[in-house]
Every structure is written in C-alpha cells, then in structure tokens.
Amino acid sequence: MQSRVRKFRAALRIGAVVLGIALALDVVVTPFIPASLLDSWLASRARDALIYDRTIAWHHELRPNLDINQFSGSGHYRLRTDAHGHRTGACASDVEAPMVQGRTVFVVGDSFAEGLGVTFEASFAGLLACAYRDVGFSARNLGTQTYSPVIYHRRIADAARRTGIRPSEIVLFLDLSDIHNDANDYFEVDGRVTTGPRSVGRRIKDFLKRNVTSISLILELRERYAVYFGSPVAVKGNLLARWTIDPALQEAWARRGLEVAGRNLDRLVALCREWGCRLTLVVYPWPDQLFAGDRESLQVTHWRDWSAARDVRFVDAFAPFFERPAEQAVREWYIKRDIHFNDAGHRHLFEAVWSQIKP
C-alpha cells in the first residue's frame, strides 16, 4: 500500500513539473510564433470536428459536401465528399437510383480505404472507381478512418437507405487494426457503437493538447513534418499489426477480436444475402508483416477459412507485397514513417485486387 502511495505521489510530482515547464514555454514561446503558423495550427485543432460527424449511431462518418486541403506526413492532399459523406473524386459515382441499380459496388474499409495521405484519384478506392466505370459499373467509397466490422454493416445499410441503391457487390478491405478495434475499442450499447473509457494517461495527454499551446504546437509540427526526420522506413512494432506474430497478443485479445469481428461480419453476410449481392473480402499487410516474413499470416489463414465457409470471395493481397525484400517494399509502397500506403502502394494493391475481381 505504501509503495503505491509513493508511486502515486511521484507521478503527481512529475506531472506538476511537466505542466509547469509547458506553461512556462507557453509564456515564452507563444508570442514569437508567426501569426500565419499559429492561425493554421489553431484551425487544425477543429479539424476532426470539421471532417467527422461523431453524433451518429455507428460512432462516426465523414461529413457531407467537404472540399478541403488535408495534410499528413506525406504532405497536403484534397479531401472531397459527396452529399452522403462518401469520399469522392474523378470516376466516383454521383448517380442516384434507379440508373445504377444492379451495377453499383460499395467499397468499404478504414483509413486505408478512405485514402489517408493521398488524393482520391491515387487511392485504391479511386482506382477501383475508374476501373469499374470502364466496364459499366458505378463505385462508391464508404471507407472511413478507424472503421471496423462492428461499424461496416451499419454504414453500408445506411448508405443503401440514403442513396436508394442496393449494391450488386461489396468489396471490404479488412485491416489488421480492425481486430483490435472490435476486441478493445468499440462496444455496442442500446443499438449504438461507442468507445470505452479513456485511460488516465490518454485523458491527461488530450487535456494538454487542447489547453497548452506549446505542447499542442509541438505535436502538430511533429505530425506535419515527421516525414523529414528519422529513418525513411516505416515505424515497426505496432501492436495493432503485431498480433499476427505475437502469441502473447493473440492470447490477450486477438483471438477474441477475431471471433467478435467474425460475428459482426456475419451480419454483413446476412445483409448481402438479403440483397442478393456478392461480398468480397480483401486482406493486406502492414510493414510489421513484411519485416517478420509473415506471408502466410493468421490474418490470411483465418479469413480465408472464414470466407470459404460462407461463400465469400477472398482476395489475399499479402502476396504482392512480398515480391520485394522487406525494407525495399516498405520504402517503395508505404508513406515514409507511416503504416499507410503511398501512391505506388495504393496502385500495387489495386492491381492485385482488380486482377481477381474484375467483372
């Protein structure tokens, strides 16, 4: 008991010192920050609220009719959405029912499908939209950052309701992080998807970001300009991906996450059967899998078996990313110091998938 009290007091002292230093920096540094940079940074504080609506039953979605310049570690890119909150650009469908009934594909996934860090036209969803248009189909991109199986079926059902279009096919890009999301991050309460309580450390960090100018500015600059610092190889050791090669993580939450995600995806299977559409499931690697040589990954074998048992078309997009040595592959196909694909990575994934699903 006394040991815990001493640790608690030590943590309080450290927190007080950090806060004191931060406040002192605010007083000293803030007056010398160029007004243009400060204005840009202050505007970025509201970026999340501007881009995502977090009041809906399935937790969040992109706001409709956006047309803004967004930034990431790879630089600025244009983010546009249509009237339904679907990311849009060249080749994206803006046609309503009944013109495209029976010839519409819904593309769905998380930040990879949203195309974080790249233009719509360079993303695999945008490339799919153009490819589908060339063969007489229409494609809509429902991909949104931090989506997971507990959200997918709700978002897809709502998209069909809003547009009046029931898709002929759903192409779901299932991310490695989806397993952690369904195991640990999202919960269903009274028909709504919600997140669990944040840790004390996370709440303190969020408080400092919102209220201490110097800390928030440092984090903002780090996000904007991380691409210019450190190793050009993406960060390794992310537990959101390492669960496929770490037995301890599998025991702690990953196997439970696979079960929960499977049950949630069964709802999408049922929805697709009701509509008479086809469901395609695509899996792809993060840098961690490449560095670990995790070619026949648990993410591949588990979902291959799951798909076969439900007559779901399965696309293993791990294989194309093992065509190069790991470090070369990461340099060539991923954003520098990030786990997301760059333009070349998006095209590489698109080509691997399109060759197997082209109507």
Q: For residue 227, what is the DSSP state?
A: G
CATH number of the domain within which 168 lies: 3.40.50.1110
Q: Say if residue 170 is in the same domain as residue 247.
A: yes
Average pLDDT over residues 280-299: 97
CA distance 180 to 126: 27
Handedness of CA 34, 36, 39, 41 (dihedral sign): negative
Q: Say if residue 25 is in the same domain as residue 117.
A: no
Q: Say if residue 152 is in the same domain as residue 248.
A: yes
pLDDT of 353 higher than 90:
yes
Q: Say if residue 262 is in the same domain as residue 308.
A: yes
Q: What's the pLDDT at 191?
A: 87
Q: What's the structural domain count of the chain?
A: 2
Q: Say if residue 28 is in the same domain as residue 127.
A: no
Of the candidate ranges 18-22, 126-130, 218-222, 317-321, the one whose mean pLDDT is the lowest: 218-222
Q: Say if residue 296 is in the same domain as residue 332.
A: yes
Please give the residue range of the domain that contains residue 317: 53-197+230-357
Q: pLDDT of 149-205, one tens digit each? A: 999 999 999 999 999 999 999 999 999 999 999 999 999 999 899 987 655 665 666
As given in the structure block, the two tokens for residue 42 are 């202050």
Q: Say if residue 189 is in the same domain as residue 315.
A: yes
Does 168 map to a domain? yes
Q: What's the pLDDT at 232?
A: 47
Q: Say if residue 180 is in the same domain as residue 102.
A: yes
71, β-bridge pairs: 76
**Helix orientation angle between 213-225 and 2-29, rounded to the nearest 10 degrees:** 80
Q: Say if residue 271 is in the same domain as residue 176.
A: yes
Strands 278-283 and 169-174: parallel
Q: Say if residue 87 is in the same domain as residue 131.
A: yes
Q: pLDDT of 32-73, one tens digit each? A: 556 555 555 555 555 677 899 999 999 999 999 999 988 775
Of the candidate ranges 40-44, 264-268, 298-302, the one whose mean pLDDT is the lowest: 40-44
